[in-house]
Amino acid sequence: MNVSRRKKSIIQAVSILSITTLLFGCSNPNEGSDNKKNKDTLTMAWPRDIGEMNPHVYNPSQLFAQSMVYEPLVHYAEGGKLEPFLAKSWDISKDGKTYTFTLRDDVKFSDGSTFDATIVKKNFDAVLKNKALHSWLGFISKIEKTEAVDKQTFRMTLSEAYYPTIQELAVVRPVRFLGEAGFPKNGDTSKGVEQEVGTGPWVLDEYKADQYATFKVNKNYWGPKPKVKKIKVDIIPDAESRVLAFEKGDIDLIFGEGAISVDAYNQLKATKSYKTTMSEPVATRLLIMNTKKKQLADERVRQALQYGFDKKTLVEGITSGLEAPADFILPPNLPYTSKLNVEKRDFDVEKAKTLLDEAGWKLPDGKKVREKDGQPLQVEMMYDAAELVQKAMAETLQSEWANIGVDLKIVGVELPDQVQRFKDNKFDINMYSNFGAPYDPHTFVNIIGTDGFGFKEAISAYPNKDQLLKEMKDVLKTTDETKRQAMYAEILPSLQDQGALVPISYLKKMAIYQSDVTNFKFAANRDESPFAQIGIK
């Protein structure tokens, strides 16, 4: 009797404890949903902490956040057009070495201080203190002299002509402008800034590392004022948790490349409760075939592999329309990349087989893999194991190429490993995507032509390799616009036609947002934030 009573009281105690715990927990049930009722604040999810708000540093600072606070001299607009921004005009000397910028006279920093040639020079000089680190941006290592000619005129002299200078001035880092109050005493911003003072439409308001950051409108902003008063960035590292937070209504907007899985995107889209949109192509997903490898040195084999798979079905099947099948190695919405004359290689199994036969790779009776001189036709493809799209594409290619007698081995590796193996030339076929706007086409041709990036070696079997490498160096120095266009029209198709660089699909950014979010539009620059026009109904 006693035991049973005691048992009951234990059960009661446990029940009370559990209920109390639950009630205690639920005392503030809408803690995470505060934002959804606030029409002035747009809440978005981002996988990583925004990092330091310093215009002159890299990781872990997030590009989109830097672009909210700091602005460039030149704006990269749709179709690769370069428009005046903080510089209202510029003049390039005939020899292509001297750049003279006339600055806007109505720009103020968020603390009210004036934006003029002196501060532009100070920023450039701070960047040049770490020239080596920034030298990946071609024009930086060529800067010889910077001058504040007068209040509104800034002049920059290069050691040699370099046409992409204007285009490179549009990138997010490290050539955007910090106000005087942001500079440390020694002027070296690489170790940190005093205050996050920029000319951009937003200023950092609140920040909690790894949790969230809020940006409010810059009262001194010179351009059109943003429609929402605040942007809140919730840091949610896990893609599935991002989707769940969005479904709950805590998040208004998710955007980016691969921000959520293809399945989750399509599932949310299918509910028709939310709005979805895709950007213009931002880069191309490519296969890089290493022509140093015996099997791939023969152009007929490379072409056969291209004829041997159905690109349209592959891309649409795997990405469910999130990526588009690509015909060109660079998206045609970049400068100098449209209207290129390249040979299209559509799916044609018979043609693929004929080409392989011609190349001497015959299919022995009763075997499934072609052979030449007793050696089987085996190639290896490496992909980033963490990227599901790459994995699925590699697997599909494996089965497609098996049909034409090619044994494809696929190897999933970690991204840093993939980059390293590519550079060390330890690969047969690599999956790669180029830089996109605002870096290409010049960054692309530059790294193809430079030692130690994997490309130069990959195209080493091209008969016109030397000519191509020379042209890739020369095009960057060309001051004549027409000549430059003609050179790109020769370089890019030649790189593609000889089959070592195979376009697969155009990468796009995705965005999914709640139905009360209006005017969402992707920036043409791959790295910039899309908050300029956005509003909430």
Partner 1 sequence: MGVYILKRVGSIIPILLLAILLLTAMIHLSPVDPAEAYLSAAHIQPTEEVLAQKRAEFGLDQSFLTQYVTTVARLARFDFGTSYVSGKPVLDEVLLRLPATLQLAMTSLFLAIIVSIPLGFLAGIRKNGFFDHLSRVIAFIGASIPSFWLGYLLIFFFAVQLDLLPVGGIGSPSHVILPAITLALPLIALYTRLLRTSVIETMREPYVQFARTRGIRETVILGKHVLRVAIPPMITGLGMNLGKLLTGTIIVETVFSWPGFGRYFIEAIFDRDMPIIQGYVFLAALLFIGSSLLVDLLQLAIDPRIARKGGNRR
- The site for partner 1 (CB under 8 A) is made up of 2-3, 6-7, 10, 13-14, 17, 21-22, 24-33, 48, 51-52, 58-60, 63, 132-133, 135-136, 191-192, 208-212, 234-238, 240-241, 244-245, 247-248, 250, 414-417, 419-421, 423, 435, 443, 447, 452-453
Q: At closest approach, how far in Å is the CB of 208 from partner 1?
A: 8
Q: At closest approach, how far in Å is the CB of 453 from partner 1?
A: 7
CA distance 350 to 300: 13
Q: At closest approach, how far in Å is the CB of 249 from partner 1?
A: 9
CA distance 117 to 454: 41
CA distance 112 to 165: 30
Measured from the Cβ of residue 224, the count of other Cβ atoms closer than 10 Å reads: 9
Name residues whose C-beta falls within 8 Å of residue 199's C-beta, 6 or more positions apart in sequence.
70, 71, 86, 107, 108, 109, 110, 115, 177, 179, 218, 221, 222
Residue 448's φ and ψ, nearest 5 degrees, are -65, -35
Q: At closest approach, how far in Å is the CB of 197 from partner 1?
A: 20
Our CB check for partner 1 shows the closer of 32 and 321 to be 32
Our CB check for partner 1 shows the closer of 126 and 359 to be 126
Residue 287, phi-psi category: left (phi > 0), alpha (psi -120 to 50), beta (remainder) = beta
User: Alpha carbon of 360 to those of 357, 374, 426: distances in Å?
Assistant: 5, 11, 25
CA distance 482 to 497: 23
Q: At closest approach, how far in Å is the CB of 58 from partner 1?
A: 3
Our CB check for partner 1 shows the closer of 94 and 191 to be 191
Our CB check for partner 1 shows the closer of 20 and 515 to be 20
Q: At closest approach, how far in Å is the CB of 429 from partner 1?
A: 19
CA distance 28 to 479: 64
Our CB check for partner 1 shows the closer of 230 and 526 to be 526
Our CB check for partner 1 shows the closer of 33 and 533 to be 33
Residue found by looking up tokens 């880092």 in the block: 173
Our CB check for partner 1 shows the closer of 447 and 458 to be 447
Q: At closest approach, how far in Å is the CB of 241 from partner 1?
A: 6
* Residue 266 token pair: 């399509």
Instruction: Report yes or no: 225 and 217 within 8 Å, Cβ to Cβ.
Output: yes
Q: At closest approach, how far in Å is the CB of 235 from partner 1?
A: 6
Buried b (16+ CB within 10 A) or exposed e, 467-502: ebbebbeebbebeeeeebeebbbbbbbbbbbbbbbb
Q: At closest approach, how far in Å is the CB of 230 from partner 1?
A: 17
State CA 120 to chain mean position distance: 27
Our CB check for partner 1 shows the closer of 149 and 244 to be 244
Our CB check for partner 1 shows the closer of 105 and 136 to be 136
Q: At closest approach, how far in Å is the CB of 482 from partner 1?
A: 29
Our CB check for partner 1 shows the closer of 245 and 355 to be 245
Q: Which DSSP state fits 76? A: E
Instruction: Report yes or no: 193 and 127 within 8 Å, Cβ to Cβ.
Output: no
Amino acid at 136: W
Among 463, 443, 367, 465, which residue's Cα sits nearest to residue 407?
Answer: 367
Q: At closest approach, how far in Å is the CB of 130 from partner 1?
A: 9
Which H, E and C letters describe 293-359, residue by residue?
CHHHHCHHHHHHHHHCCCHHHHHHHHHCCCCEECCCCCCCCCCCCCCCCCCCCCCCHHHHHHHHHHC
CA distance 342 to 273: 42
- CA diameter of the chain: 105
Our CB check for partner 1 shows the closer of 63 and 377 to be 63
